[in-house]
């Protein structure tokens, strides 16, 4: 039985119809001239509006925050207009949608950020990491990232303000709230994890200092839109894009306690989900549950039964199903009625048009 997935739940001031989350998934369909959301993106999200919560794909908060070609921004008027089409389409189908706010830090290439040098917590290049570029001349493709420069105090304050403005922009564009992307090796994660932050000032050198940037960003955004409209994505055990922490359980339990003090609406935990990935222990999940009193969302290769068990255990409040939502726009109905899940075409995950985006049918 999957009854637990279909109990309503409070998220801040919102009431969600079910506990099924469509998590952020980069689909690379934004307009390549101005990084704005497109009409087919509006159709795509509206098709999936039966999820209790949709979290939109990562949206860069500034031109410098962009990591990959064809990803959407949330800092220009044109971009806000594009996102307003998306949120209007989702709301017309009674869906609830948060924007994921994204700064990639060092996980980019000058080609994607106006030929600037990337910025990060420290001047450490992410090894064996490639990003997607489209320079309009040589054809799109993957290139190695470059060494970033260490952020100055002025840089840090500027990015904090950009996150604050992006949160305001998201609400203006009709989103019901925002998710701060603090996972998967991007900028905030580069400050949090011990091996990517070699600073010796108040933003490094100790766990509390490594969490300071996260703290300041949350403080700024909460002052602008309210903590009840904010979620945060963390990935304690993933080593994506070269970020590694020496003591992840200690670090991320401390991060959860910090976020609990801010009274944010939710924490969204991305479990490592590749073959032979490290497994989050029950003890680690219990520590996070004890540290954080808001809604806990978990993501990572969940089946209907595993999701139900996680919620019934009390360790999770909601479950995010990533790639199953690609080929199953009606995933909640399929879960509820025990129908088979369609498989997605990996060739059409990133870039392109409607094919592999909006042409997957509902169950018949």
Cβ neighbors of 300 (< 8 A, separation 6 or more) are 270, 271, 272, 273
Can you tell me which residue has the tokens 């032979």? 276
Which residues are bridge partners to 259 per DSSP? Answer: none
Let me know: does 69 contact 132? Beta carbons within 8 Å.
Answer: yes
Cβ neighbors of 207 (< 8 A, separation 6 or more) are 250, 251, 254
The whole-angstrom separation of Cα 56 and Cα 22 is 8
Percent of the chain as helix, strand, coil, to the nearest 5: 35, 15, 45
At residue 91's C-alpha, the angle toward residues 87 and 96, to 5°, is: 85
Let me know: does 6 contact 336? Beta carbons within 8 Å.
Answer: yes
Q: Which residues are designated catalytic?
A: 186
Assigned token pair, 189: 């994660």
> Strand 130-133 relative to strand 266-270: parallel, antiparallel, unpaired?
unpaired
Alpha helices per DSSP H over the chain: 39-47, 77-92, 153-172, 187-192, 207-210, 212-225, 248-262, 282-291, 304-312, 324-327, 331-337
Longest dimension (CA), the chain: 59
Question: Which helix H or strand E contains 268, and what residues bound it?
Answer: strand 266-270
The per-residue b/e assignment along 205-234, b for 16 or more CB within 10 angstroms, e otherwise, is: eeeebbbbbbebbbebbbebbbbbbbbbbb
Cβ neighbors of 338 (< 8 A, separation 6 or more) are 304
The whole-angstrom separation of Cα 265 and Cα 299 is 17
């Amino acid at each position: 039985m999957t009854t637990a997935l279909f109990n309503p739940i409070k998220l801040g001031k919102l009431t969600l119809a079910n506990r099924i989350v469509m998590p952020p998934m980069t689909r690379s369909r934004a307009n390549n001239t101005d990084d704005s959301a497109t009409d087919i993106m509006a159709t795509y999200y509206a098709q999936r509006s039966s999820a209790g919560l949709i979290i939109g794909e990562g949206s860069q908060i500034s031109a410098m925050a962009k990591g990959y070609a064809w990803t959407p921004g949330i800092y220009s008027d044109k971009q806000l207009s594009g996102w307003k089409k998306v949120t209007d389409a989702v709301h017309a189908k009674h869906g609830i949608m948060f924007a994921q706010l994204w700064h990639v830090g060092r996980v980019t290439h000058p080609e994607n950020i106006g030929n600037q040098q990337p910025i990060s917590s420290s001047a450490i290049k992410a090894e064996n990491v490639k990003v997607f570029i489209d320079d309009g001349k040589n054809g799109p493709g993957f290139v190695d990232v470059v060494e970033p420069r260490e952020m100055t105090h002025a840089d840090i304050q500027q990015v904090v303000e950009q996150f604050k403005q992006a949160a305001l922009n998201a609400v203006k564009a009709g989103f019901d709230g925002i998710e701060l992307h603090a996972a998967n090796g991007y900028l905030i994660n580069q400050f949090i994890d011990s091996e990517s932050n070699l600073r010796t000032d108040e933003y490094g050198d100790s766990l509390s200092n490594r969490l300071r940037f996260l703290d300041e960003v949350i403080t700024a955004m909460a002052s602008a839109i309210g903590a009840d409209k904010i979620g945060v994505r963390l990935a304690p055990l993933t080593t994506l894009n070269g970020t590694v922490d020496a003591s992840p359980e200690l670090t991320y339990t401390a991060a959860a306690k910090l976020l609990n003090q801010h009274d944010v609406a939710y924490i969204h935990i991305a479990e490592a989900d590749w073959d032979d990935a490290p497994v989050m222990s029950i003890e680690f999940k219990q520590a996070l549950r004890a540290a954080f009193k808001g809604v806990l969302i978990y993501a990572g290769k969940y089946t209907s039964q595993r999701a139900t068990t996680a919620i019934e255990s009390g360790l999770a409040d909601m479950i995010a199903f990533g790639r199953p939502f690609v080929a199953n726009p009606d995933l909640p109905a399929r879960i509820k009625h025990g129908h088979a899940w369609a498989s997605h075409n990996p060739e059409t995950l990133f870039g392109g048009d409607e094919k592999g985006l909006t042409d997957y049918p509902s169950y018949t």
